[in-house]
């Protein structure tokens, strides 16, 4: 599983905590706290938010779809509210929201 961290320091801290969790020195509840603090947060995007995000980056639906490795139709359906992004697409949208399209280029 690929994880996206808020910073290099957060990545190091999370990796150490994961190792400690694996050997039983950190419990699940504590590990969830590290996940919340270190990993890039993901939230559900409303259709209008997705459209605004794409327009902020000044790209067409086709180009946006190419960056996200999805079809243009998927982006169109997200923007119309017919479908919701999930999994890796949702994570990539969160990264674009925080750091811009260049973060995943």
pLDDT at 47 over 90: yes
DSSP percent split of the chain into helix, strand, coil, nearest 5: 65, 0, 30
Ramachandran class of 46: left when φ > 0, alpha when ψ lies in -120 to 50, beta otherwise: beta
Q: Which of the four pLDDT bands, split at 50, 70 and 90, describes residue 11?
A: confident
What average pLDDT does this structure show over 80-89?
A: 94
Residue 2 lies in a domain: no
**Other residues' Cβ atoms within 10 Å of the Cβ of residue 93:** 23
Q: Which range of residues forms the domain containing residue 86?
A: 47-103
Residue 1 lies in a domain: no
pLDDT at 45 over 70: yes
pLDDT at 39 over 80: no
Considering its fold, how many domains does the chain have in total? 2
């Amino acid at each position: 599983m690929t994880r996206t961290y808020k910073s290099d320091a957060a990545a190091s801290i999370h990796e150490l905590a994961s190792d400690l969790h694996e050997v039983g020195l950190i419990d699940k509840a504590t590990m969830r706290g590290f996940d919340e603090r270190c990993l890039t947060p993901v939230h559900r995007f409303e259709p209008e938010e997705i459209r605004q995000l794409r327009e902020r980056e000044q790209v067409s639906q086709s180009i946006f779809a190419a960056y996200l490795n999805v079809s243009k139709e998927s982006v169109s359906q997200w923007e119309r509210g017919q479908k919701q992004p999930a999994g890796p697409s949702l994570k990539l949208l969160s990264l674009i929201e925080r750091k811009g399209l260049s973060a995943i280029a």
